[in-house]
Amino acid sequence: MESQGLAYHRTAHPENLTRPYWDESVHYVLEMEEVLHLEEVVEELHRMCLQAAEHVVRTGRYEVLGIEERLAPLIEESWRRRDPHVYGRFDLRYDGAGPAKLLEYNADTPTSLVESSVIQWFWKEDVFPEDDQWNSIHERLVDRWRELPLREGPLHFAWTEADLSGEEIMTVSYLRETAEQAGRECVSLTMESVGWDGEDYRGLEGERIKTLCKLYPWEWIVGEPFGAFVDETDWVEPMWKMLLSNKGLLVLLWELFPGHPNLLPAYLNTPGDLTSHIRKPLLGREGASMTITAPGVSQETGGRYGAEGFVFQEFAALPEFDGQHPVLGAWVVADESAGLGIRETSGLITDDTSSFVPHRIPQ
Domain-located, residue 323: yes
Q: Residue 336: what are its φ and ψ, rounded to 5°?
A: -125, 145
> With 80 as the cut, is the pLDDT of residue 142 above it?
yes
| Distance from the Cα of residue 251 to its chain's centroid | 18
Reported as a pLDDT band with limits 50, 70 and 90, residue 8 is: confident
Reported as a pLDDT band with limits 50, 70 and 90, residue 49 is: very high
Task: Name the more confident of 222 and 17.
Answer: 222
Where does residue 246 rank: exposed (0-12), middle (13-18), buried (19+ CB within 10 A)?
buried
Whole-prediction pTM = 0.95
Task: Name the more confident of 64 and 6.
Answer: 64
Rg of the chain (C-alpha set)? 20
Domain-located, residue 132: yes
> With 90 as the cut, is the pLDDT of residue 177 above it?
yes
Looking at every residue in the chain, the average pLDDT score rounds to 93
> With 90 as the cut, is the pLDDT of residue 151 above it?
no
Q: Tell me the three state secondary structure of residue 310.
A: strand
Domain-located, residue 63: yes
> With 90 as the cut, is the pLDDT of residue 15 above it?
no
Domain-located, residue 51: yes
Closest CA to 244 of 352, 130, 362, 108: 108
> With 90 as the cut, is the pLDDT of residue 89 above it?
yes
Query: Could you report the per-residue pLDDT of 58-82, keeping only the tens digit for each?
Result: 999 999 999 999 999 999 999 999 9
Q: What is the pLDDT of residue 213?
A: 96
Domain-located, residue 302: no
Lowest mean pLDDT among 125-129, 185-189, 300-304, 325-329: 300-304
Mean pLDDT over 142-160 rounds to 94
**Cβ–Cβ under 8 Å, residues 275 and 295:** yes
Mean pLDDT over 144-161 rounds to 93
Reported as a pLDDT band with limits 50, 70 and 90, residue 303 is: confident
Reported as a pLDDT band with limits 50, 70 and 90, residue 198 is: confident
Q: Which domain holds residue 221?
A: 2-8+18-247+318-360
**Cβ–Cβ under 8 Å, residues 274 and 111:** no
Strands 297-300 and 195-196: unpaired
**Cβ–Cβ under 8 Å, residues 101 and 262:** yes
**Cβ–Cβ under 8 Å, residues 156 and 203:** yes
Q: In sequence order, what E strands does the chain have?
A: 28-29, 87-93, 101-106, 155-159, 186-190, 195-196, 201-202, 211-214, 234-236, 266-268, 277-281, 291-294, 297-300, 310-314, 325-333, 336-345, 355-357, 359-360
Rounded CA gap, 341 and 191, in Å? Answer: 27
Side by side, the strands of the sheet bearing 297-300 are 266-268, 310-314, 277-281, 291-294, 297-300
Mean pLDDT over 188-211 rounds to 91
Domain-located, residue 305: no
Rounded CA gap, 342 and 318, in Å? Answer: 13
DSSP state of 324: B
**Cβ–Cβ under 8 Å, residues 304 and 290:** no
Rounded CA gap, 12 and 21, in Å? Answer: 8
Rounded CA gap, 334 and 348, in Å? Answer: 31
Structural domain count of the chain = 1
Mean pLDDT over 90-112 rounds to 96
3-state helix, strand, coil in the chain (%, to 5): 30, 25, 45
Domain-located, residue 298: no
Angle at which helix 167-181 crosses helix 137-147, to 10 degrees, equals 60
Domain-located, residue 292: no
Strands 355-357 and 155-159: unpaired
